[in-house]
Every structure is written in C-alpha cells, then in structure tokens.
Amino acid sequence: MKNKKKLMPWLFSFPSLILIALIIIFPILYTGYISFTNMNLYHWFDFKMIGFDNYIRALLKLDSGFLMALVVTVLWTVLNMILQVIAAYFIALGLNHKGLKLSRVYKTLLMFPWAMPAYVSILLWRVGMFNTEFGLLNQILKTFGLSEINFLSTNVPAFISCMVLNLWMALPFMIMMIDGAMQSIDQSYYESAKLDGAGFFARNKYITIPAIKPIMAPAVIMTTFTTFKQFDIVYLLTRQKGALTGATFQTILTYSHENAFVSNNYGLSSAVSIIIFIIIILFSLYTNRSLKEENQ
C-alpha cells in the first residue's frame, strides 16, 4: 500500500515524461554531443570528437557584441513582461466588468492577433504598418501633417517598434490567461468586500491579485521564457537577409544566429546553443529565487 502510494505519482506522470524525454531532453543531449565534434560543412558526415575546442572558440566569441546582445535581451524581456502583464490585467479587469454586455465580442476580437501565424503577422506589420512609403502608420502621420518616420532604420525606434509588435502578438494570450484566472474567483468575496466599503484599489490589491497569482505564476514564467527566446520578431522585422533595415540591435538569439548558425558549423553552433542554454538557466534560477522568496 505504501509502495503503491509512492509509485502512483510517477505512474501518473509517466506518459508525459516519455514524451518530454523524446522531444526535449534527447535534442538537448544530442546538441551537447554534437558540440564536442567537428561537424561542419567540410565534415558533414564524417565528423569526429574534438573535445572542448568548440567551447573555447564559443567562449572567445562572447565579446562585447554578445554582452550587448545579452543586455538588450534582458531589457527586452523585462520591459515586455511588465507592459504585457499590466496591460493584460487591466484589459481583463474591464472584460470582467459586470455591466459590459459585449464582453464576449470584444474578447473574440482581441484574440484575433493570436489567431494568425507569427510570421504572417510580422510580415504584415513590416509592410503594412512600418513601411516608409505606404505603411499605415506613416499614412496616419501624413494625414496629420507630420513628417514620415523610418521606424526600422535606427535602433531606438526599431526596438520600440519590435516591442509594440510583440505586445500586439502576445497580449491576447496574457488577456486570456488572466481572464480565465479571474473567472475562477468566487464572486462572494467581492460582494462582502463591497459591503465592507472596499474601493477599487483595495479590491484589486486584497482580492483579485492574490487570487489570480498562483494561477498566473506559471503562465507568466513561461511567457518570460518565450519573450527571452523571441527570435522571429527582431529577425523578420529588421534583419532578414536581403531586407536589412539598418537597425543594428540584436538579441542573443539573433546574434548567435548570425555568428554561428549561418556558418553551417554545427559543432560550434551547438556549443553556442549549450552556452546560451546555461545562461538562460542561470537567468531563470535567479528570477525564480526572487519569486520563491516572495511566495514564502
């Protein structure tokens, strides 16, 4: 009986763990293995182990450009997450307002950006919104008599443009998560709070936020990872081959893409991948610790 009790959770988790081992752990191990070989264009099929050479080279590549990219990535992640969570919170709050009859319609419409494949949205934004000659944003500026802006040719406007696009693409998920969490709050709490005369802020601070926090924590953490790993937006908007826009800021993924992956040197790029993975782990251990301390 006791043994059965111990086995039970593993039995429950077993199917998931198999899948994860196959699709997530195996590739990491394989990447680790390749990172110790000289697999590149000239040794595509006949590669052999070469020890830590790739790691030494990869670490030598971690120059100022890499550090800058890391700083940009952290800034990108933090700014995006703050804006995203706050905006989504207030939107979800509005959607849950009792008197809002059309909330279902609004909710569906707000989900629209999410329903499109990412690269489609990004291309649409690049050509339809940000384009200098006929992009919608510049046409709006023009009708107000303002001069055109080349949104993507210099770093700061391009970074902000990428962030706007990321918000546009990521908010639907956040709104849906927070909305779902808010649905789970027992309405009787609010009723008694109202009787106690609690105002808007008090209700949010003492009921809504504490109630949704445990549900939201995993979603927020996951989104933080996704934001950190975000590659498509920066790449497709500003750095696509043949369509470079002039902005030069990079995240660590675009930076290593350009510095290792384009070269077809799989050994080296695997070493870079493993190093980035370690950096992400350190980063997340750090954020997780601060999260844990807050919780306990």
Partner 1 sequence: MSGRKAKNIVGLSLLNLIFIILCIIALLPIIYALSLSLSGDSGALSSHFSLLPSKISLANYQAILTEKPFLQWLSNSLQLSVATMVISIGFGVLAAYACSRFRFRGRRTMLMMLLLLNAFPQILSMFAIFRLFKDMNLIDSKIGLVIIYAGTMCIFSIWNMKGYFDTIPVEIEEASKIDGASDMKLLFKIVLPLARPAIIVTSVMVLIFVWNEYLFATTFMLNEHSYTLAGGLYQLQSSDYSRSWPMFSAAAILVSIPILIIFFCIQKYMVSGLTAGGVKG
Partner 2 sequence: MKRFISFLLCLLMITSLLAGCGTKKTTTKSGKTDTKGKAEPVTITVWHDGDEAIMKTIETKLNDSLKKDQITVKFEKKTGLSDQLKLYGNDASNGPDMYFYAHDSLGTFVEMGVLAKITDVVGEDTMKDLIPMTVDACKYKNDQYLLPIYFETLLFMYNKDLWKGEVPSTTDELYDYMVKNTDTKASKYAVVNQHSTAYNVAPVINGFGASVLDEKNQPALNSQEMIDAVTYNNKFAKLQADGDYNTVSTLFNEKKAAAIVGGPWLVSGIKKAGINVAYKSLSDFKLPNGNPLAPYSGVQGIGIMKHSVEEKKDALKKVLEVLAKPEVGVELVKTCNCAPANTKSYDDPEVAKNEMVEAIKKTADTAKPMPNVPQISVMWTPTEAMLAAINKSNVKDIKKAADKAQKDAESAVADMK
Applying CB under 8 A, the span of 42-50, 102-110, 206-214, 279-287 interacting with partner 2 comes to 42-50
Q: How far is the CB of 248 from partner 1 (least distance, A)?
A: 21
204 binds, among partner 1, partner 2, none (CB under 5 to 8 A by kind): none
Which of residues 259, 271, 274, 275 is near partner 2 by CB under 8 A? Answer: 259
Q: How far is the CB of 145 from partner 1 (least distance, A)?
A: 17
31 near partner 2, judged by CB under 8 A: no
263 near partner 2, judged by CB under 8 A: yes
124 near partner 2, judged by CB under 8 A: no
Q: Which residues contact 198 (CB under 8 A, 6 or more apart)?
A: 206
User: Which residues, 171 to 190, sit near partner 2 by CB under 8 A?
Assistant: none
268 near partner 2, judged by CB under 8 A: yes
Which of residues 31, 103, 132, 226 is near partner 2 by CB under 8 A? Answer: 132
294 binds, among partner 2, partner 1, none (CB under 5 to 8 A by kind): none
Residues 137, 135: Cα–Cα separation, whole Å: 6
258 binds, among partner 2, partner 1, none (CB under 5 to 8 A by kind): partner 2
153 near partner 2, judged by CB under 8 A: yes
Residues 35, 22: Cα–Cα separation, whole Å: 19
Q: Which is nearer to partner 2, 165 or 268 (CB)?
A: 268
Amino acid at 44: W
94 binds, among partner 1, partner 2, none (CB under 5 to 8 A by kind): partner 1
41 near partner 2, judged by CB under 8 A: yes
Phi, psi of 241, deg, nearest 5: -60, 130
User: Which residues, 60 to 99, sit near partner 2 by CB under 8 A?
Assistant: 61
Q: Which is nearer to partner 2, 172 or 267 (CB)?
A: 267
Q: Which residues contact 259 (CB under 8 A, 6 or more apart)?
A: 61, 65, 272
Q: Between the CA of residue 171 and those of 47, 66, 208, what are the distances in Å?
A: 45, 29, 19
Contact set with partner 2 (CB under 8 A)? 40-42, 44-45, 57, 61, 127, 131-134, 150, 153-154, 241-248, 258-260, 262-265, 268
